[in-house]
Chains A and B, each alone.
Chain A
Amino acid sequence: MNNIIEITSLRKSYGGIKAVNNISFSVNAGEMFGLVGPDGAGKTTTIRILCGLVNQESGTVKILDKDLTRSRKEIQKNIGYLSQKFSLYGDLSVDENIEFFAEIHNVKDYSKRRDELLDFSRLKPFRNRTAEKLSGGMKQKLALVCSLIHEPKILFLDEPTTGVDPVSRRDFWKILSRLLKDGITIFMSTPYLDEAERCNRVALMNSGEIIALDTPQKVKGLMNQQIIEIVCSPVRIAYQTIKRNTALEVQMFGDRINVIVENYRTELPSIKKLLTENKVNIADERIIPPSLENVFIHLIKDAE
């Protein structure tokens, strides 16, 4: 049985709002599954249902071949959860926090595992520091360690790197890839589409519904146009020039614009001419494969 999580016709509403609107999909054992979408798309609600924190309205969830509604506590023995908000005990030390979670999960002889985890997350030198005194990146690592102490088979991460600086994010990902190698299944929601690229499969979620689900490659394939990336300045002028004077879809990224074309050979010269005419300096240009972010913006725009 390869499907470690199976979701069928899941629904959940709050008041009149359909937070999760009839979604169905499965997650394979050992994969890194990414759930992406804007705020309010229903990602957090979905994860909370899967963790057994919230009851669904209708639909079934099977985790590790057991029905979630019936065997919630048993399933919870085998899963770990990292919430969006920091939810560890600030006045307890790193060691004490881990000890507490080990004990409530009834882990016997956890010291060895604790030491291993502290080593591998590089938190060992801080083991006696109280959690509130850790930096943001370290807090996330501690939260991750606490969710792993009972050797869960599935890890649910709700936007684990939001608000974390790029360097700590990089370190966090190294840890995640180690975990995958150890065979853990990771289900994570993220607003960072570049992180979603690293998942085995990714689901794009919007307004409670799944609008695309496949490997990042195949999702990107949903967009058969090409993308020209032009590093230029001033970016805003470039963006507006293309927007106002052509029917092309253009996306703005910091110091560059991405223009979506059918055929770059025919379109590029006219685009460059247009930009230069409008006093835009072009520093660099190249064809790039569409990133998930390009596709995401494209699909959402299509849906509107």
Chain B
Amino acid sequence: MNLNRTRAIAKKEFKHLFRDIRMLLILLLFPVFLLGIFGYAVNFDVHHIKIVVYDEENSEISREFISSLTKSTYFDLVGYITNDFQIKEILDKKKAQCVVVIPKDFSRKFYSGQEAKIQFLIDGVDGNSANIIQFYSTAATQSLNAKLTTEVLSKAGIKSFIPIDFRPIFWFNPDLKSTRFFIPGLIAMILIITAAVSVSLSLVREKERGTIEQINVSSIRSSELLIGKTLPYVLLALVNAAMILIAGYILFDVAIKGSYPLLFLSTLIFLIASTSIGILVSVISDSQQVAFSVATMITMLPSFILSGFVFPIESMPPIIQVITNITPAKFFINVLRAIILRGVGVFAIWDQLLYLILYASVLLGAAIIIYNKKETKS
């Protein structure tokens, strides 16, 4: 393989890239833009849940309970109701997602040793939020429970004893900030889409314009052409990756715990796999529209749904779990999460890295072979 020729192709590609300002800006800024959207707007944390309270009792304890709920940012008290009929209206009209009902005889029952009930009426339409509301309200209630029990017991002279204090500590992501969880997946998705799309477009553009013919008539080999063409986009993607990480750190406090060189190497391998997808797409596409559509479709959907970016693979049916192996994003996300969030070394991820390397070599090899065959077909 002749490096001079490869370099000539790469040099020209850079020139094209820098002379098309609009494309360049899109390629550089779009990823950061996406990050912002995901980070700020898309959030599985649920805050400011609107609640309405029906306090039949209006005692010191009930008021204390309510204030413990509203003290946190999780619940926002938007109103009080005074009768049963209003409950339906509130939930139907979505004035609140949850109605807390404290019955008349709450304290009396509690202090007399009977079971006292607090009712939480939750709008179940948004299952996700509903689950979380249930979780928080249970936690709040447990808290109150514990506190009141201690009071009662101490009044009776018995020291309280809580056998098991269940308090989960979430390793690596203490406040369960979903943003931290997103960043690796986001990086993977953005990289695979931009790498595949930009490479496929650049190859098909030459086909469309006819300039590919001059190249085909020269003595350049397919491998030199393909590698030369993909190099600038790999570099661009690396810059993108760096920008996302920096933005993630500045905006969302996501810091890289692990080794930078390892991160760089893994990203490089992943990019080789991604650009190979772009090459394959270009072989079957005759126009830029087709190339764009196909490349976007086969990278975006799998990397969003099947890679473990948003939906955990472990909770998918077994056959789907096998299918998830078709996207290199899956392995890359595991590697990224390991390096960024957990800070582990090669030993913990060597198998994922191996998969990635295998994937990249097979794809690149196939791309070159198929491109070669197709070159002189028609």
Do the two shown chains form a genuine complex with each other? yes
Partner of A100 from the list B12, B209, B210, B221 (CB cut-off 8 Å) is B12
Q: Nearest Cβ distance between residue A149 and chain B, in whole angstroms?
A: 10
Partner of A105 from the list B7, B15, B219, B378 (CB cut-off 8 Å) is B219
Q: Nearest Cβ distance between residue A52 and chain B, in whole angstroms?
A: 7
Known: A53-B376, A87-B213. A104 touches B15 (CB 8 A): no
**A125–B19 CA distance with the chains assembled, in angstroms:** 22
Q: At the interface, yes or no: B83 with Cβ under 8 Å from chain A?
A: no
Q: Which residues of B contact A74 (CB under 8 A)?
A: 219
Can you name the residue of chain B whose Cβ is closest to the Cβ of A99?
B8
Give the contact-size bracket for chain A.
20 to 34
Q: Nearest Cβ distance between residue B236 and chain A, in whole angstroms?
A: 18
Q: Which residues of A contact B19 (CB under 8 A)?
A: 91
Is A88's CB under 8 angstroms from B217's CB? no
**A89–B377 CA distance with the chains assembled, in angstroms:** 24
Is A73's CB under 8 angstroms from B214's CB? no
Is B5's CB under 8 angstroms from A104's CB? yes
Is B15's CB under 8 angstroms from A92's CB? yes
Q: At the interface, yes or no: A101 with Cβ under 8 Å from chain B?
A: yes
Q: At the interface, yes or no: A228 with Cβ under 8 Å from chain B?
A: no
Interface positions of A from 38 to 96, Cβ below 8 Å from B: 51-55, 72-74, 76-77, 79-81, 83, 85-89, 91-92, 96
Q: At the interface, yes or no: A111 with Cβ under 8 Å from chain B?
A: no
Number of B interface residues at 8 Å Cβ cutoff, please give it: 28
**A72–B2 CA distance with the chains assembled, in angstroms:** 17
Interface positions of A from 270 to 287, Cβ below 8 Å from B: none
Q: At the interface, yes or no: A188 with Cβ under 8 Å from chain B?
A: no
Can you name the residue of chain B whose Cβ is closest to the Cβ of A72?
B376
Is A53's CB under 8 angstroms from B216's CB? yes
Q: At the interface, yes or no: A262 with Cβ under 8 Å from chain B?
A: no
Is A106's CB under 8 angstroms from B219's CB? yes
Is A88's CB under 8 angstroms from B12's CB? no
Q: Nearest Cβ distance between residue A156 and chain B, in whole angstroms?
A: 8
Q: At the interface, yes or no: B16 with Cβ under 8 Å from chain A?
A: yes
Partner of A101 from the list B4, B16, B218, B221 (CB cut-off 8 Å) is B218
**A104–B4 CA distance with the chains assembled, in angstroms:** 7
Q: Nearest Cβ distance between residue B224 and chain A, in whole angstroms?
A: 8
Q: Which residues of B contact A88 (CB under 8 A)?
A: 211, 214
Q: Which residues of B contact A145 (CB under 8 A)?
A: none
Q: Which residues of A contact B213 (CB under 8 A)?
A: 53, 81, 83, 87
Is A51's CB under 8 angstroms from B217's CB? yes
Q: Which residues of A contact B20 (CB under 8 A)?
A: 91
Number of A-B contacts (CB under 8 A): 77
**A77–B19 CA distance with the chains assembled, in angstroms:** 30
Is B214's CB under 8 angstroms from A76's CB? no
Q: At the interface, yes or no: A35 with Cβ under 8 Å from chain B?
A: no
Which of A51, A101, A104 is packed against the most chain B CB atoms within 10 Å?
A: A104
Q: Nearest Cβ distance between residue A110 and chain B, in whole angstroms?
A: 11
Is B5's CB under 8 angstroms from A103's CB? yes
Q: Which residues of B contact A150 (CB under 8 A)?
A: 218
Q: At the interface, yes or no: A203 with Cβ under 8 Å from chain B?
A: no
Which of A52, A72, A83, A89 is packed against the most chain B CB atoms within 10 Å?
A: A89
Q: At the interface, yes or no: B227 with Cβ under 8 Å from chain A?
A: no
Can you name the residue of chain A whose Cβ is closest to the Cβ of B212?
A87
Q: At the interface, yes or no: A146 with Cβ under 8 Å from chain B?
A: yes
Q: Which residues of B contact A51 (CB under 8 A)?
A: 217
Q: Nearest Cβ distance between residue B201 and chain A, in whole angstroms?
A: 15
Per-position binary interface string of chain A over residues 111-127, scored 1 when its CB falls under 8 Å from any chain B CB and 0 otherwise: 00000000000000000
Q: Nearest Cβ distance between residue B56 and chain A, in whole angstroms?
A: 76
Is B9's CB under 8 angstroms from A87's CB? no
Can you name the residue of chain A whose Cβ is closest to the Cβ of B12?
A100
Q: Which residues of A contact B11 (CB under 8 A)?
A: 100, 103
Is A106's CB under 8 angstroms from B210's CB? no
**A91–B12 CA distance with the chains assembled, in angstroms:** 10
Can you name the residue of chain A whose Cβ is closest to the Cβ of B375?
A53
Known: A52-B217, A77-B219, A92-B15. A87 touches B211 (CB 8 A): yes
Q: Nearest Cβ distance between residue B54 and chain A, in whole angstroms?
A: 70
**A105–B214 CA distance with the chains assembled, in angstroms:** 11
**A91–B14 CA distance with the chains assembled, in angstroms:** 12
**A87–B207 CA distance with the chains assembled, in angstroms:** 10
- What are the 7 A-B residue pairs with the smallest beta carbon separation, nearest first? A103-B8, A87-B210, A77-B219, A81-B217, A85-B210, A87-B211, A104-B220
A-B contact pairs, 29 of them (CB 8 A): A52-B216, A52-B376, A53-B217, A53-B376, A72-B376, A73-B219, A73-B221, A74-B219, A76-B217, A76-B219, A77-B219, A79-B217, A80-B217, A83-B210, A86-B210, A87-B213, A89-B12, A89-B211, A91-B16, A96-B15, A100-B12, A101-B218, A103-B5, A104-B9, A104-B215, A105-B218, A105-B219, A106-B4, A146-B214
B residues touching A (Cβ–Cβ < 8 Å)? 2, 4-5, 7-9, 11-12, 15-16, 19-20, 209-221, 376-378
A residues touching B (Cβ–Cβ < 8 Å)? 51-55, 72-74, 76-77, 79-81, 83, 85-89, 91-92, 96, 100-101, 103-106, 146-147, 150
Given contacts A51-B217, A74-B219, 5 further A-B contacts (CB under 8 A): A76-B219, A91-B15, A104-B8, A104-B220, A106-B4
